[in-house]
Amino acid sequence: MRIRTRRERDRGQVALEYIGFVAILLLVGLAAIQLGVAAYAVNQAGTGARAAARAASLDDPRAGEPKLDPVAAGTAAVSGWLKPDVTPAGSGGDGVTYTVTIKIPSVIPGIPDFGTATRTATMPKLRPHN
């Protein structure tokens, strides 16, 4: 009959502890990635709002040049996988305002999304040079 030593009995315990620790590390890693995705979505919403407001603030195009579409400009300024919603928020006085809303996607399984990121930008209307 063979007597087991303490070292042989502890062998499986180390494997279980390692598996538990790896799971915690994966969750922390996913949370860090999710924070980065959320920050990126907010940044892209600001970029899209500025591009849309800038396109709307420009003077009428010269003969033969196409007129810029602010919604298309705001959408093109944002990464396509974020699917922005570009809407005018006002055009009174000397300025024009556009708002971009983006749904923040989730990288964590089981959580559908993390709300929305909304940014608004206002640009002054350009005046014609006389």
Q: What is the pLDDT of residue 66?
A: 80
The reported pLDDT for the residue numbered 46 is 96
Question: Are 57 and 107 in contact, with CB atoms under 8 Å apart?
Answer: no
Q: Which residues contact 33 (CB under 8 A, 6 or more apart)?
A: 107
Q: How far is CA 88 from the centre of its chain?
A: 20
The answer to whether 57 and 69 have CB atoms below 8 angstroms apart is no
Cα first-last separation, the chain: 106
pLDDT at residue 130, rounded to an integer: 46
pLDDT digits (tens), the chain, 130 positions: 666 666 666 666 777 777 878 889 998 999 999 999 999 999 999 999 999 999 998 877 777 778 889 999 999 999 989 999 999 987 677 889 999 999 999 988 888 888 999 999 999 987 654 4
Sign of CA dihedral 51, 52, 58, 63: positive
Cα–Cα distance for residue pair 40/33, rounded to 1 Å: 10
Q: 37: burial class by Cβ within 10 Å (0-12, 13-18, 19+)?
A: middle
pLDDT score, position 2: 64
Report d(CA 27, CA 24) in Å as an integer. Answer: 5
How far out from the chain centre does Cα 109 lie?
A: 18
Q: How many residues does the chain have?
A: 130
